Structure 1
Amino acid sequence: MPPKRKAKRKSPSYVAPKRRKGFLAVALPWLKRFGLVIGGLILITWLGAWFVLTGTAARTANWSKSQIIAATANAGFKIENLLVEGRVNTDPALMMALLNIQTGDPLFGINPQEAKTLLEETKWIRAAHIQRRLPDTLYIKLYERTPIALWNYNGETTLLDDAGKPLRVDDLAAFSALITLKGKGANEVATDLIQTLLNEPDLSPIITSATRQGQRRWDITTKDGITIKLPEDDKVPHALRRVIDAQTNDKILDNADIESLDLRFEDKIIIRTKPGSVIDYKNGVSDNKKQTRNSEGAA
């Protein structure tokens, strides 16, 4: 039996050391990935810009909106009733033209905020409230500027509202029943005077005009031509009360011989008569005796 040979030991295999990857080898895959992402973003941005700049987005939105509005109209949400409150001087034809609506139009076809803005740009409307009342009513509440007086200054007559602001109208004749104010600065204090007169319903209906004197006080004139010289503004309410008391007791405003009443003094009323006329009037502060005043009396 032949002798066994010793098995040769296998020498260990040689393993080469791993080489480090360079920067480019590591970064290149990531750059490729980011490049795809960035390219995609650029493409999306470009398409979005094209969509907007060419008007496609607006046309698409408008088309979608019109389809929705048409669908609501087909479902019965149409304007069958138009309810307007607070309209006095606003031209109804102008209002309808601004809103551009008519019976049968889609109720959701009108934008309440846009309608409000349009109405408030007109001269008469101070504020407006627009509301859809389902299923078929459009409600409009108007808050108009209220004309309170005519203002005559520098040869020009202007209508004033309840804030003393000018109202430009074509036909002033429609407001001829309002009191006429005269003088510089009359418009600035018109609201206070009108409100004070309205607080005296026994007197205000017969006052036809008021003239501002020195920007401190008023001379008011009755429909019979009697001028009432009022004190400075803060004393006007008390002065008007004195006139009303005199009218109640002595019918002083019914006397055709009187030309003017001067209430600038707190303790007396000075009466001026027309030329050639003489009257008696009680002076309640001095000695309560009848005194005679003629046309040469104090003015």
Structure 2
Amino acid sequence: MDGGGRLARSLRSLRPQSDLKAAAIGAVILLRKRLGLNRAPAKPSLEREQPHRLIALLERYLPHRAGVAATVLMLLGSAGFGIVKGGHAAELTSAMSDTRNAIANSAGFRITAVAINGRKQLTQDEVLAIGGVNGRSSLLFLDAAAVRDKLKANPWISEATVLKLYPGQLQIDIVERSAFALWQQDGRLSVISDDGAVLEPYVSRRFISLPLVVGKGAEAHAWEFLALLARYPQVRSATKAAIFVGERRWNLRLKDGLDIRLPETDVGNSLAALSRLDKEDRLFSRDIVAVDMRLPDRLTVQLSEDAAKAREELFKDKKLKKKAGDA
């Protein structure tokens, strides 16, 4: 009992209430300032009574330890803001993931066997790394859909299926794209698949035997043109590169440097004519630098510089002989 005959509150119960009261007074004052209510009121006594009434209501209806709970929430919020602001959110998420995986592994859900079907170019370790599966992963918390999406995002993999076989087996079935051709664009050389997808930069000599296509848009049209070219092995075997010109027609660069300028349409007949001319007249072995087949009714041949000079000398000799004969 205190001097006035009232029960004295313990210090433990008084401190949250006093914290709550101070917070409420500050909130009311701030709210009034925001709302523009800090002007001189008509009844000054009413302004002094309003905060006290609000505090009395808060003390009556809020839990006894609401001040402590609010303080804890503020501390947690500050810690979370600091983690995000400091760029440590990914580290925290990774640590939490490792912790739950460790618990699941200790409970018997460790991945003890992995079967990967359909791989040809990629190794097993590469497939697991692409899917985000490592030695800390547990089968219980492995997100099969997320692993599948990561696998399909890799250009080498066109399709993937991921199965979890409890308690500790993981099965991955993939369909790989095949290396189809080399594509040169802006000085960069890449390995592409038959659907035009860029698989990887050309760094490995195991792809050196692939056909070469050059130019913007060539990767998207390579399969159709190279399939047509394959019908004429006489021309195909002599070709070094197929060059896509203006994103609408092809030129052939032969291994000896001869350029074949193909038309935009009716390419099959032009290739057939080339094959026939080489078989019958050994066109590719002649001293020429270019064959222009863009006009439908004629074939134009450009001689090499030496051949052009020799042809010019030949005509001069013929003219001199003719003049001598006339004399």
- After TM superposition, the score normalised by the length of structure 2 is 0.52
Cα deviations by residue, 1:60-114 (Å, 9 ceiling, x for unpaired): 88655543343242xxx734232142542x4554444564536x97433544455
What SS does the aligned partner of 1:251 have? helix
For the pair 1:44 / 2:77, whether they are aligned, the reply is no
Query: 1:210: which partner in 2?
Result: 242
Counting strand residues as a fraction of each chain, which structure ranks higher?
Answer: 1
Which structure has the greater CA radius of gyration? 1
Query: 2:275: which partner in 1?
Result: 247
What SS does the aligned partner of 2:263 have? strand
Match of 2:107 among 48, 71, 83: 71
**What is the percent sequence identity of the aligned residues?**
12
Name the CA distance, whole Å, in 2 between partners of 1:64 and 1:180. Answer: 50
Name the CA distance, whole Å, in 1 between partners of 2:254 and 2:54. Answer: 99
Q: 1:5-154 counterparts in 2 under 5 A?
A: 30-36=57-63, 39-40=65-66, 42-48=67-73, 53=79, 63=99, 66-73=102-109, 78-88=111-121, 90=122, 92-97=124-129, 99=132, 101=134, 106-108=138-140, 110-112=142-144, 115=147, 124-125=155-156, 129=160, 131-135=162-166, 136-141=169-174, 143-144=176-177, 146=179, 148-151=181-184
Name the CA distance, whole Å, in 1 between partners of 2:98 and 2:222. Answer: 54
For the pair 1:265 / 2:305, whether they are aligned, the reply is no
What SS does the aligned partner of 1:187 have? coil
**Cα distance change on mapping 1:83 and 1:254 into 2, 3 Å:** farther
Match of 2:211 among 179, 185, 188: 179
The answer (yes or no) to whether the contact 2:213–2:222 under 8 Å persists in 1 is no
What SS does the aligned partner of 2:63 have? helix
Counting helix residues as a fraction of each chain, which structure ranks higher?
Answer: 2
Deviation of the 1:220 alpha carbon: 0.2
Match of 1:158 among 156, 179, 189: 189
**Cα distance change on mapping 1:61 and 1:263 into 2, 3 Å:** closer
**Cα distance change on mapping 1:81 and 1:295 into 2, 3 Å:** farther
Name the CA distance, whole Å, in 2 between partners of 1:143 and 1:178. Answer: 17
Query: What is the RMSD of the two structures over their aligned residues, measured on CA atoms?
Result: 4.9
What SS does the aligned partner of 1:208 have? strand
Gaps of 5+ in 2: 1-49, 84-91, 313-327
Deviation of the 1:192 alpha carbon: 1.5
Deviation of the 1:264 alpha carbon: 0.4
Deviation of the 1:128 alpha carbon: 6.3
Deviation of the 1:152 alpha carbon: 6.8
What SS does the aligned partner of 1:240 have? helix
Cα deviations by residue, 1:124-157 (Å, 9 ceiling, x for unpaired): 546664512313233152555845224275xx45
Gaps of 5+ in 1: 1-22, 278-293
Name the CA distance, whole Å, in 1 between partners of 2:311 and 2:125. Answer: 56
What SS does the aligned partner of 2:209 have? coil
Name the CA distance, whole Å, in 1 between partners of 2:298 and 2:229. Answer: 20
Name the CA distance, whole Å, in 1 between partners of 2:203 and 2:294. Answer: 39
Q: How many residues align?
A: 239
**Cα distance change on mapping 1:66 and 1:262 into 2, 3 Å:** same
